[in-house]
């Protein structure tokens, strides 16, 4: 097991290198990016010429592109992601909390989606071809067909008339004055709408997968054996069938995470949620290049680590996976 | 009396029927199966309606793409009446003209002093159908000064319904464009990767992994926002589909590679190789056709993904740009909570997006089941 994890970690190396290359290259496509520093001086007069000169020297802006890339790579290896021009602070200050916020939103959505989707999927599979199964299946299709920006808008519309939940942001205006427990409650209240908006999409897909996997498992021989032994139907389903049907869902975890991070970008922008997706859009519009590169990089690092976690979990729960 | 001869003959006939059944092509079997999925058929019919409306957009839309009435901004949908204010029933549906209450705020009342019949096939704003055929015929309309805003108007007093039709040109076509670009590339690259293996395969699959390691929407955002703002609308749409293809070819290539890898050494491929065909010809003519059923399903399910991506980008303001329009761009007007709650008809383009995606998903799912021999009942 340990060897498997180690091997996966080593394989991450080249992948991370490729990711830095793409994150960097995407920005180089900006028309006239070779001299984007000149443009920035005009756009951000609050940044001193000395700072600009220092950045130019640090990132080798007068050097050929490949040297620029290695300079940037060298900097990020030291966790120096450059300067955010729009905020005039190091990118590192900005991006950490934003990434954590996005992770928080994605994970709450994931937990909510799984805890809603699995029971529905199990119910649907056990009552295959019943009326409720049909309704649930159709609803699942509708759920996966609603873009997260549209579900976010509809939720805002509903929430506006209900006057119960906060519509925008992650924290209330008086957040800093609250005691710690009120802070947690406040964040929780603010998380409800974005979580539903984002989770809805996953529920449909997960439910259908759960239903299909469980139906497949229910046909298998060991379920017949369990029934033949005279176990109660309850025990057959929950002890034997469901456990085995959940395994393939673990592999979906990584896939889900990618979708959630993408979807979160919409929800964040519509609900004013201070996450990575909102940061990257703002940075793109303001040509805040170091922030864009760092956000791309961090978004994909989160995705890779999520996938890695999923693979390790799968290897852990499913002894049939050979990991050497 | 039934003779032994009759029995033998009827047996023979039954056997022939069974053989004919077996000899049906797999496509005919799949089609027969597909016809049993009502939701898939409903999806297919919806798509036919949507795409027909898209082609006939100029004719079906009562107003032109840019036709705006600035005094009637954020006008609510026009209500269509059969009975007038004095209680008389009319044979034709009619509307009342809008009367502006206060020119500074969007508040309107119906001017019930006069009725305006809705006419079919009226002459209205001139247009070039599909940019080519000059005409001015519209399916329906009312005489000015009355207006027929079936879905209300936007902030510039443009008819939402007409713009929904024009916007479908972009929203519905971009998915097909991306499939047309991505699929040949993904199939050939995946085919080469799986067929040759070795170094080519390694390089190709590692690059696919790098692309797959990004949350795809982050890449869409970045690449779309670097498109120069000076582009014309068609150029922009073409480049946007380029962006989707650049990010999207990998997933397809990986699956095709897997299928081809399994086919590389089966008899018919060996036979093709033994008869001296060039490798590329073997891949394209002999190996790739075996991936057809997967590709058809993947294509049907890729289109809604692209529709989603395009509308998302346009919604955030970096996709399709004014003056041309798409459903996502139209929905972008509903971004502020105040606008959204006061003028809820601005949400209708979102429903159109959901409808199109849903129809493709139903159809794709039905096709997948229909092409899967394990699902087939006799």
* B218 interaction partners in chain A (CB closer than 8 Å): 261-262, 265, 277, 280, 295-296, 299-300
Other Cβ atoms within 10 Å of B244 Cβ, number: 27
Distance CA B64, CA B75 (A): 17
**What is the average pLDDT across A208-234?**
89
How close A218 comes to chain B (CA, Å)? Answer: 16
**B-chain residues near A29 (CB < 8 A):** 223, 226
State residue B378's pLDDT score. Answer: 41
Q: Mean of the per-residue pLDDT values for chain A?
A: 83
Q: Which of A15, A168, A299 sits opposite B218 (nearest CB)?
A: A299
> Smallest Cβ distance to A142: which of B213, B316, B358?
B358
* Higher-confidence position of B114 and A278: A278
Contact assessment for residue B329 and residue B167, using Cβ atoms and an 8 Å cutoff = yes
Whole-angstrom distance, CA of residue B304 vs CA of residue B334: 22
The H-assigned helical ranges of chain A are 2-28, 36-43, 49-58, 65-77, 91-126, 131-145, 148-162, 180-218, 221-228, 233-235, 242-270, 276-285, 289-317
Q: Which pair of tokens denotes residue A64?
A: 């050929």
B278 vs A39, residue with greater confidence: B278
pLDDT in tens, chain B (378 residues): 566 677 777 777 777 776 766 667 777 877 887 887 888 899 999 999 999 999 988 888 888 888 888 888 888 888 888 888 778 888 888 888 888 887 777 788 887 778 888 888 888 888 888 888 888 888 888 887 878 888 888 888 888 999 999 999 999 999 999 999 999 999 999 999 999 888 999 888 888 988 888 888 888 888 888 787 778 888 888 888 988 898 888 889 988 998 898 888 889 999 999 999 998 899 888 888 888 888 988 888 889 989 998 998 898 888 888 878 899 999 988 888 888 888 888 899 999 999 999 999 999 888 888 887 666 544
Residue of B210, B337, B340 lying closest to A18 (CB–CB):
B210
Q: Which of residues 274-313 of B touch A (CB under 8 A)?
A: 304, 308, 311-312
Residue of A nearest to B215 (CA): A258
Q: What are phi and psi of B109, to 5 degrees?
A: -125, 160
Which backbone phi and psi does A306 adopt, to 5 degrees? -60, -45
**pLDDT over threshold 80, residue A27:** no
> Residue A30's pLDDT is what?
62
pLDDT for the residue numbered B375: 60
Work out the average pLDDT over A129-134: 89
CB contact under 8 A, B357 and A147: yes
Flag whether residue B362 sits within 8 Å of chain A, measured between CB atoms: yes
Chain-chain contact of A265 with B217 (C-beta, under 8 angstroms): yes
User: Which of B349, B316, B315, B318 lies closest to B162 in space, CA to CA?
Assistant: B349
At A11-20, the pLDDT tens digits run 888 889 989 9
8 Å CB contact of A145 and B358: yes
Q: How many residues does chain B have?
A: 378
Is residue B316 within 8 Å of residue A281, measured between CB atoms?
A: yes
Angle at A304 between CA A2 and CA A248, to 5 degrees: 70
Q: What is the ipTM of this complex?
A: 0.84
pLDDT (0 to 100) of residue B360: 92
Instruction: With cut-offs at 50, 70 and 90, classify the pLDDT of residue A34.
Output: low
Mutation target to probe the A interface, by most A beta carbons within 10 A, among B47, B206, B214, B362 is B214
Q: Specify the pTM.
A: 0.86
CA–CA gap between residue A74 and residue A53 (Å, rounded): 18
**Strand residue runs (E) in chain B:** 81-83, 89-100, 108-117, 119-129, 133-141
């Amino acid at each position: 097991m340990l060897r498997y994890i180690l091997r996966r970690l080593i394989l991450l190396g080249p992948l991370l290198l490729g990711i830095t290359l793409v994150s960097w290259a995407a920005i180089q496509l900006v028309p006239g990016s070779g001299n984007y520093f000149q443009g920035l001086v005009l756009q951000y007069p609050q940044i001193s010429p000395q700072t600009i000169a220092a950045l130019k020297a640090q990132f080798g802006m007068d050097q050929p592109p490949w040297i620029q890339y290695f300079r940037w790579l060298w900097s990020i290896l030291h966790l120096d992601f450059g300067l955010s021009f729009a905020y005039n602070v190091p990118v590192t200050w900005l991006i950490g909390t934003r990434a954590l916020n996005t992770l928080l939103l994605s994970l709450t959505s994931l937990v909510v989606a799984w805890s809603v989707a699995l029971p529905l999927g199990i119910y649907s599979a056990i009552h295959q071809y019943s009326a409720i199964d049909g309704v649930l299946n159709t609803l699942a299709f509708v759920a996966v067909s609603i873009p997260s920006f549209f579900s976010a808008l509809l939720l805002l519309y509903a929430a506006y008339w209900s006057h119960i939940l906060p519509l925008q942001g992650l924290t209330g205006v008086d957040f800093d004055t609250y005691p710690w427990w009120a802070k947690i409650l406040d964040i929780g209240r603010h998380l409800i709408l974005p979580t539903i908006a984002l989770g809805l999409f996953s529920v449909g897909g997960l439910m259908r997968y759960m239903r299909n996997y469980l139906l497949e498992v229910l046909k298998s021989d060991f379920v017949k054996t369990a029934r033949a032994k005279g176990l109660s139907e309850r025990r057959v389903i929950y002890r034997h069938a469901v456990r085995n049907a959940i395994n393939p869902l673990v592999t979906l975890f990584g896939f889900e995470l990618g979708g959630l991070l993408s979807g979160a970008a919409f929800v964040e922008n519509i609900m004013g949620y201070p996450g990575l997706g909102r940061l990257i859009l703002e940075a793109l519009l303001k040509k805040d290049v170091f922030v864009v590169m760092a956000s791309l990089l961090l978004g994909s690092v989160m995705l890779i680590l999520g996938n890695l976690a999923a693979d390790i979990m799968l290897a852990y729960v499913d002894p049939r996976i050979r990991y050497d | 009396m039934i003779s032994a001869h009759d029995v033998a003959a009827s047996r023979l006939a039954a056997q022939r029927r069974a053989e004919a059944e077996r000899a049906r092509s797999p496509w005919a079997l799949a089609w027969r199966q597909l016809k049993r999925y009502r939701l898939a058929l409903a999806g297919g019919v919806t798509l036919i309606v949507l795409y027909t409306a898209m082609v006939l957009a100029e004719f079906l839309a009562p107003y032109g793409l840019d036709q705006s009435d600035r005094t009637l901004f954020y006008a609510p949908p026009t209500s269509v009446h059969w009975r007038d204010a004095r209680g008389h029933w009319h044979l034709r549906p009619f509307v009342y003209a809008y009367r502006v209450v206060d020119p500074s705020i969007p508040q309107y009342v119906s001017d019930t002093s006069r009725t305006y019949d809705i006419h079919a096939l009226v002459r209205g704003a001139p247009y070039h159908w599909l940019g080519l055929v000059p005409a001015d015929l519209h399916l329906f309309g009312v005489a000015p000064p009355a207006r027929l805003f079936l879905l209300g108007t936007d902030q510039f007093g443009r008819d939402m319904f007409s713009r929904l039709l024009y916007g479908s040109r972009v929203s519905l076509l971009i998915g097909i464009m991306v499939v047309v670009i991505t699929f040949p590339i993904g199939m050939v690259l995946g085919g080469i990767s799986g067929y040759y293996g070795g170094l080519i395969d390694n390089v190709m699959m590692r690059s696919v992994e790098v692309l797959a390691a990004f949350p795809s929407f982050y890449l869409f955002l970045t690449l779309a926002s670097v498109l120069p703002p000076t582009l014309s609308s068609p150029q922009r749409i073409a480049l946007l589909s380029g962006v989707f293809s650049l990010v999207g070819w990998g997933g397809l290539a990986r699956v095709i590679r897997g299928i081809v890898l399994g086919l590389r050494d089966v008899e018919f491929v060996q036979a093709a190789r033994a008869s001296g065909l060039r490798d590329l010809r073997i891949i394209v003519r002999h190996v790739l056709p075996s991936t057809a059923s997967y590709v058809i399903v993947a294509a049907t399910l890729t289109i809604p993904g692209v529709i989603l991506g395009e509308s998302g980008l346009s919604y955030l303001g970096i996709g399709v740009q004014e003056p041309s329009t798409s459903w996502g761009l139209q929905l972008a007007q509903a971004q502020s909570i105040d606008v959204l709650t006061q003028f809820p008809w601005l949400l209708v383009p979102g429903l159109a997006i959901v409808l199109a995606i849903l129809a493709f998903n139903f159809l794709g799912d039905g096709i997948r089941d229909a092409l899967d021999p394990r699902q087939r009942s006799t």
